[in-house]
Structure 1
Amino acid sequence: MLERIREGSQGIAAKVILGLVILTFAISGIGSYINSKADTAVKTVNGVEITQTAVEEAFQNERNRMKQQFGDVVEQLMADESYVANFRQGIVDKLVVEELQRQQAKDLGIRVSDEQIKKAIVAMPEFQRNGQFDNEVYLALLRQAGFTPTQFRDYLRQQMVRSQYTASLMGSEFVLEHEKEQYAALNNQTRTFLQVLVSSKALESNVELTEEDIQAYYDNNKFSYKTADKVAVEYILIDAQKLAEAVAVSAEQLEEYYEQNIVEFTKQEQRRIAHILVEAKEGAEEKINQAKEKLASGESFASVAAEFSEDTFSAENGGDLEWFEAGVFGEAFDQAVLALEKAGDVTPVFESESGFHIVKMTEYEKAESASFEDVKAQIASQLQQLKIDELYIEAQTKVSEISFEIPDTLEDAAEVAGLELKTTGLVTANQLQGIVSSPSVVSKAFDENFISEGLNSELIEINDTKSIVFRVTENQPARVQQLEEIRTPITVALTREKASELASKKALEVEEKVKAGAELAELNADPAVTTSNQIDVGRFDTKVNANVRDAVFELPKPENGQPEYDLVELPNGDAAVVSLTSVTTKPALVEAPVSNQVLNVIGQQAVKALIDASKANADIE
Structure 2
Amino acid sequence: MLEIIRQRKQSIVIKIVFIIIVLSFIGTMFLVWGKGSDGSGGSRGYAAKVNGTKISVEEYQSAYQRIRNMYQQIYGQSIPAEMEKMLNLKKVALDSLIDNMLVMKEAKKMGIKVSKDEVAKEIAGMSTFQKDGAFNFDLYQQLLRSNRMTPKEFEESQKNELMIKKARQSVKDKATVTDDEALAQYKKENDKLDLEFVAFAPSDVIDQIKPTEAELKDYLQKNQNEFKTPVKVALSYVLIDPASMAAKLSVSDEEIQTFYQKNIDRWQGKDGILPFNEVKDKVRAEALKQKAAKQAYELASDTLYKNAKSGDLSLIARQLDLKVQDTSLFSVATPPSALNGEAAVIKKALELKQGELGGPVETAKGIYILKAKERKEAVVPPLAEIKSEVEQKTRTAKSVDLAKQKAEEAAKQLAAKAPAKTQSTGSFGYSVKGDIPVIGNSPELMEAAFKLTSAAPAAPAPLKVGNRWYAIRLKARTEAPRSEFDKNKEQLKKTMLPKKQEEALAAWVKDLKAKATIEVNPALVAEK
TM-score for both structures, normalised by structure 1: 0.35
TM-score for both structures, normalised by structure 2: 0.41
- Structure with larger RCO (C-alpha < 8 A, sep 6+): 1
Q: Which has the larger radius of gyration?
A: 1
